[in-house]
RNA sequence: GGCCUCGUGGCGGAGUGGCUACGCAGAGGACUGCAAAUCCUUGUACUCCGGUUCGAAUCCGGACGAGGCCUCCA
């Protein structure tokens, strides 16, 4: 099988043909959430992007031959701080946050990774890596801390393309006294008795920020693997440091062959930040009226995300969500997917577009084309493949019942009664009565559509409710 | 200051050294008692200045502009 998939590799800054180490066991690691707070919409981007890649790899190599690992970081100083602030235990906080995270990701139509390892369950691997680094002269213990000795690794900076000189020039002035070099970073640090910690050769303590990914990828994917993904902000220092830890611990030239990074997200043209008040969580979008004055189905969020190529910056706007929803509604209006048999093959146009470094924008234009030419079973297959057809979440039922309005069966029956009365009036050419009924329903937000076959259907008004 | 990305029509957003992306909005038409929905048709583009080329929006250089990282934020 010759590979057709091309992906942009941050290591080389070029689009490369993807060649797995072992086609029988294709391995991908993506940096997952630190579970101290609800995931925001920026976090959703890598979740969706790498879910599409996972689906494509499974399509290309077979479901049994792809292993996708996305970690859960459940030890972190932000977690400690938040738990203390809320007066709950760390375990309570991380469990609660993870539960919401899992529900969010499911609503976004993402497949579950093969493994979702937790940092706290890999302390032994972290300690093992740190011991190896000390033994090989790449790390040193000082004052209860263990630090990675950056100058001991000549190739350091390869991913982010920074030279040690550049970094020194921009380094902060205050360097912790236990550091040998100002670029050295923490592998292990001491914990006070009230802080979470584990016994280690260097005393009671906890891991530094980067070591957990080296440990978890090692355990679940091996010393080297194929793809490592995450947000572009992780290139430095997180991924650079992961590479340093793993390559030096295992005496390897590479940790992962392909490094993929998704671009950043802005909200209505501005950087998302809590101080600007435009901080949007996935949970808010799905379940509250905080963004655009209404709730949004997961498929709408997913399609809005996939409209833009994953490496481009994306502006998260109400208008974009409305357009995405209009597209989905058009497809669903055109066909009742519940009764359409899905074609066995994912359309080649869709797959070929994804082979070009996940050109999801092009796949969407092909979906429009399938819709326009009436290839409904292929359309269904394409939507399913892209994770845009989760009947539980976005079906004809949810289209007709706007998430904002709870339409009871009782009201539904009443609307049907009105429609019958209006059809009767129309049969008598009583246009005044007919229009009166239509206007009254419209005032309640119910829009009527007289179809070409003489039937009348209705839906909740689609216009933006702001 | 250092490093990195990007600059396409009213808006969003792909792609390509020479031929319509696509979507939303707009315009015209069909259908309809009138609407809505649907269908058909349709216009507008490649930040600026140089260079390479038969030909560049697409390659190279420069300018201007936007964003990101270098401060545990995807």
The 3-class secondary structure across chain A, one letter per residue, is CCCCCEEEECCCCEEEECCCCCCCCEEEEECCCECCCCCEHHHHHHHHHHHHHHHHHHHHHCHHHEEEEECEECCCHHHHHHHHHHCCCHHHHHHHHHHHHHHHHHHCCCCCCCECCEHHHCHHHHHHHHHHHHHCCCEEEECCEEEECHHHCCCCCCCCCCCHHHHHHCCCCCCCCCCCCCCCEEEEEECCCCCCCECCCCCCEEECCCHHHHHHHHHHHCCCEEEEEEEHHHHHHHHHHHHHHHHHHHCCCCCEEEEEEECCEEECCEECCCCCCCCCEHHHHHHCCCCCCCCCCHHHHHHHHHCCCCCCCEEECHHHHHHHHHHHHHHHHHCCHHHCCCCCCCCHHHHHHHHECCCHHHHHHHHHHHHHCCCHHHHHHHHHHCCCCCCCCCCHHHHHCCCCCCCCHHHHHHHHHHHHHHHHHHHCCCHHHHHHHHHHHHHCCEEEEECCCCCEEEEECCCCCC
Q: Mean per-residue pLDDT for A445-455?
A: 78
pLDDT of residue A370: 92
**Strand B close to A15 by CB, under 7 A:** no
- Provide mean pLDDT across the span A421-442: 88
Mean pLDDT score, A36-61? 94
Average of per-residue pLDDT values in chain A: 86
- pLDDT-derived band at A400 (thresholds 50, 70, 90) equals very low
Q: Which residue has the higher pLDDT, A23 or A344?
A: A23
Q: Residue A82 above 70 pLDDT? A: yes
| Cα(A136)–Cα(A134) distance, integer angstroms | 5
CA-based angle A37:A106:A59, to the nearest 5?
Answer: 130
Task: State residue A115's pLDDT score.
Answer: 97
pLDDT range class, residue A461, cuts 50, 70, 90? low
Question: Which tens digit of pLDDT belongs to each residue from A191-243?
Answer: 988 889 999 999 999 999 899 999 999 999 999 999 999 998 898 889 999 99
pLDDT of A175 higher than 50: yes
CA of A9 to C1' of B16 (A): 22
User: Nearest-CA residue to the C1' of B67?
Assistant: A313
pLDDT band at A390 (very low <50, low <70, confident <90, very high): confident
**Predicted local confidence at residue A281, as pLDDT:** 92
A113 C-beta less than 7 Å away from strand B: no
Residues 263-302 of A with CB under 7 A from strand B: 263-266, 271-272
Q: Among A335-339, A358-362, A374-378, where is mean pLDDT lowest?
A: A335-339
Confidence at A272, pLDDT banded by 50, 70, 90: confident
The Cα–Cα gap between A138 and A135 comes to: 8
**Chain B positions with a protein C-beta closer than 7 Å:** 1-6, 11-15, 21-25, 31-40, 67-74
pLDDT at residue number A218: 96
Instruction: Identify whether the C-beta of residue A35 lies closer than 8 Å to the C-beta of residue A97.
Output: yes
pLDDT exceeds cutoff 70 at A268: yes
Residue A391 confidence (pLDDT) above 60: no
pLDDT at residue A49 above 70?
yes
Average pLDDT over residues A446-458: 79
Give residue-wise pLDDT tens across range A279-290: 889 999 998 888
Give the Cα separation of A120 and A310 in Å (integer): 31
Q: Which of the four pLDDT bands, split at 50, 70 and 90, describes residue A168? A: low
pLDDT of residue A48: 95
**Which domains occur in chain A, in start order?**
6-262 (3.40.50.620), 265-385 (no CATH), 396-464 (no CATH)
CB of A466 under 7 A from strand B? no
Establish whether the CB of A77 is closer than 7 Å to any nucleic acid atom in strand B.
yes
Helix axes A90-107, A77-86, angle to 10 degrees: 110
According to the per-residue pLDDT averaged within each range, which of A61-70, A82-91, A390-399 is highest? Answer: A61-70
In chain A, pLDDT over 90 holds for what percent of residues?
Answer: 52
Give the residue-averaged pLDDT of A327-349: 84
Q: What is the pLDDT of residue A2?
A: 45
pLDDT at residue A386 greater than cutoff 90: yes
Among A46, A73, A61, A30, which residue's Cα sits nearest to residue A256?
Answer: A30
> Is the per-residue pLDDT at A431 higher than 70?
yes
**Residue A372 Cβ under 7 A from any strand B atom:** yes
> What would the mean pLDDT of A325-350 be, rounded to a whole number?
85
């Amino acid at each position: 099988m010759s590979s057709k998939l091309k992906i942009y590799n941050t290591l080389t800054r070029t689009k490369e043909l993807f060649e797995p180490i072992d086609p029988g066991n294709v391995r991908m690691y993506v940096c997952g959430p630190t579970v101290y707070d609800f995931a925001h919409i920026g976090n959703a981007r890598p979740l969706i992007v790498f879910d599409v890649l996972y689906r494509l790899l499974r399509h290309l190599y077979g479901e049994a031959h792809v292993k996708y690992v996305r970690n859960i970081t459940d030890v972190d100083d932000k977690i400690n701080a938040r738990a203390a602030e809320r007066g709950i235990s760390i375990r309570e906080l991380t469990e609660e946050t993870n539960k919401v995270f899992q529900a969010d990701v499911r609503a976004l139509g993402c497949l579950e990774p093969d493994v979702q390892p937790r940092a706290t369950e890999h302390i032994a691997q972290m300690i093992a890596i740190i011991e190896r680094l000390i033994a090989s002269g790449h790390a040193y213990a000082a004052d209860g801390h263990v630090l990675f000795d950056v100058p001991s690794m000549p190739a350091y900076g390869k991913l982010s393309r920074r030279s040690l000189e550049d970094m020194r020039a921009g380094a902060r002035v205050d360097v912790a006294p236990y550091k040998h070099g100002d670029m050295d970073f923490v592998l292990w640090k001491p914990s006070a008795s009230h802080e979470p910690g584990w016994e280690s050769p260097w005393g009671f303590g906890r891991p530094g920020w980067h070591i957990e990914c080296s440990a978890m990828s090692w355990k679940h994917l091996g010393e080297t693997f194929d793809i490592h993904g995450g947000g572009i902000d992780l290139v430095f220092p997180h991924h650079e440091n992961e590479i340093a830890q793993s390559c030096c611990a295992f005496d390897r030239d590479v940790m992962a062959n392909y490094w993929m990074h998704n671009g950043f997200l802005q909200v209505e043209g501005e950087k998302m930040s809590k101080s600007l008040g435009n901080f949007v969580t996935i949970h808010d979008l799905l379940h509250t009226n905080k963004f655009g004055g209404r709730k949004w189905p997961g498929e709408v969020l997913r399609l809005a995300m996939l409209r833009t190529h994953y490496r481009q910056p994306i502006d998260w706007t109400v208008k974009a969500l409305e357009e995405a929803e209009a597209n989905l509604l058009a497809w669903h209006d055109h066909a009742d997917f519940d009764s359409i048999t899905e074609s066995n093959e994912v359309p080649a146009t869709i797959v070929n577009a994804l082979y070009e470094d996940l050109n999801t924008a092009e796949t969407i234009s092909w979906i429009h084309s399938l819709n326009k030419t009436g290839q409904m079973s292929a359309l269904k297959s394409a939507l399913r493949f892209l994770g845009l057809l989760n009947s539980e979440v976005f079906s004809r039922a949810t289209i007709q019942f706007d998430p904002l309005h709870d339409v009871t069966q009782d009201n539904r029956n009443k609307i049907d009664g009105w429609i019958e009365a209006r059809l009767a009036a129309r049969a008598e050419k009583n246009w005044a009565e007919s229009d009166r009924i239509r206007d009254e329903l419209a005032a309640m937000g119910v829009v009527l559509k007289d179809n070409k076959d003489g039937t009348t259907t209705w839906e909740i008004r689609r216009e933006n409710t702001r």
